[in-house]
Amino acid sequence: MASNIDIQPGTEVAFTPTSQSITIQQQQLELKMTALFFGIFHSGSMLLIVVFVSLANAASFIGRKVQHLKK
């Protein structure tokens, strides 16, 4: 498969990537995009949970203060 090629200075050499390496690069890119999507989705959902829990705690606190003031 490998052969000795004599290349002189100034000679333009172009390497064409094989379809297999292109496919591997596409698969790696898809994996990275999937991981990025799930990372963003997970952190976003965790942030929403924190916001809703904080709102619930604030509403509960305000409700208790109102009940306390009514007495």
- The domain in which residue 54 lies consists of 44-71
The Cα–Cα gap between 60 and 55 comes to 8
pTM, 2 dp: 0.47
Q: Is residue 69 part of a domain?
A: yes
pLDDT digits (tens, 9 = 90+) for 35-69: 998 888 888 899 999 999 999 999 999 999 888 88
Residue 52 lies in a domain: yes
pLDDT over 70 at 25, yes or no: yes
The answer to whether 49 and 43 are in contact (CB under 8 A) is: no
| Distance in angstroms between the alpha carbons of the first and the last residue of the chain | 92
Concatenating the DSSP letter of every residue in the chain gives: --------TT----PPPPHHHHHHHHHHHHHHHHHHHHHHHHHHHHHHHHHHHHHHHHHHHHHHHHHHHH-
The answer to the question of residue 9 being in a domain is: no
Q: Is residue 13 part of a domain?
A: no
Is 25 part of any domain?
no
In a domain, 71, yes or no: yes
